[in-house]
Amino acid sequence: MSNVLRIRLAAFGVLLICQFFTASAQAQNQPKPDWSLADMPSQKGRIFLVTGGTSGMGYEDAKALAAAGAQVVIAARNPERGQEAIDQIKQEVPDAQVTFEPFDLADLSSVRALGQRLNTSLPRLDGLINNAAIMAPPERGVSAEGIELQFAINYAGHFVLTAELLPLLRNSDSPRVVTLSSIAAHLGSINFDDLHSTQDYEPMTAYAQSKLADLMFSFELQRRSDAAGWGIQSMAAHPGVAVTELVARGPGLDSEQGQRWAAGREHYQTAAQGAIPTLYAATAPQAQGGAYYGPTGEREVNGPLGLATIPPAANDAEVAARLWTITEEMTGTHYP
């Protein structure tokens, strides 16, 4: 046998061994497919913040965490809807410890004010769920700082909020940050030449970029936590396609996209089902930092819980680090 052939066979053997161990590791890290709220351990004594918790999956997150004994802070824009959410939760969970904090992700002064209030009023934060989002508004909007609105609310505002709450998170014995992405991230790319869609605004393209940015942020936060010793487990999750107010408040139910969404509605997840990957990441002892959880059915629109497919772009650590630096400059917020 020639030396070249021996080398090729040896290399092929190493590749097979690597694939075997990778597959074995993935199998060991896979969550239980039928994981449900009944599997959630007690969250008594733990403190969570859920952004956008007045409706949809954020509301389901807040309700489930409160039912498990956690102290839950819902942060959103509308105090009236906040009170309605609290009243609804307490109807089902009479002893729920749930409060509301007003803030606006599209105004970084409001985000920082929330951070200051919580750093004063809370002893620590055990879990932060970066859930709030908007999707594909037909007209381009901007935040108070001039950031394209989807990029601001879905990504940049949560970037700043996480930084503001870092001291509280580090006060926890086992802090977790769960950031919501979307299957739309597979369609996204980070357009450094036009991050704010000033040259060309296409609603779904901007949405996909913001959700890819969320996923990259989650992974980069884990890398930086590991490097700096923050002790944070940073995970990402997506709900598949869930029946929430996202379409109605974004493109609108009368839009072409809204009509397609309505036509397939019977195949989509409920808000409660869509919340399962987030709640698993936030509470399950087996959940791991740096992972991405979601449904595993066809195209990951619905189905059993599992490890979600990661878009190749989200694994580009160099682009993620560049995006992080640019976001720090854009927002004036610098992580330690």
Q: How far apart are CA 144 and CA 132, in angstroms?
A: 17
pLDDT of residue 264: 53
The model's confidence at residue 29, banded by pLDDT at 50, 70 and 90, is confident
Q: Is the pLDDT of residue 28 over 80?
A: no
Give the pLDDT mean for 172-187: 97
Catalytic residue among 155, 207, 292, 293: 207
3-state SS assignment for residue 44: coil
72-76, 134-138, 260-264, 297-301: segment of lowest average pLDDT: 260-264
Work out the average pLDDT over 184-211: 97
Mean pLDDT of 323-330: 98
DSSP state, 270? P
Q: Choose which CATH entry (3.30.2350.10, 3.40.50.720, 3.30.70.1020, 3.30.70.360) describes domain 36-331.
A: 3.40.50.720
Residue 12 has pLDDT above 70, yes or no: no
Q: 329: pLDDT confidence band, cut at 50, 70 and 90?
A: very high
Among the residue ranges 174-188, 204-218, 241-255, the one predicted with the least confidence is 241-255
Q: How is the chain split into domains, by residue range?
A: 36-331
Does 155 qualify as catalytic in the annotation?
no
Would you call 222 helix, strand, or coil by DSSP? Answer: helix
State residue 251's pLDDT score.
Answer: 59
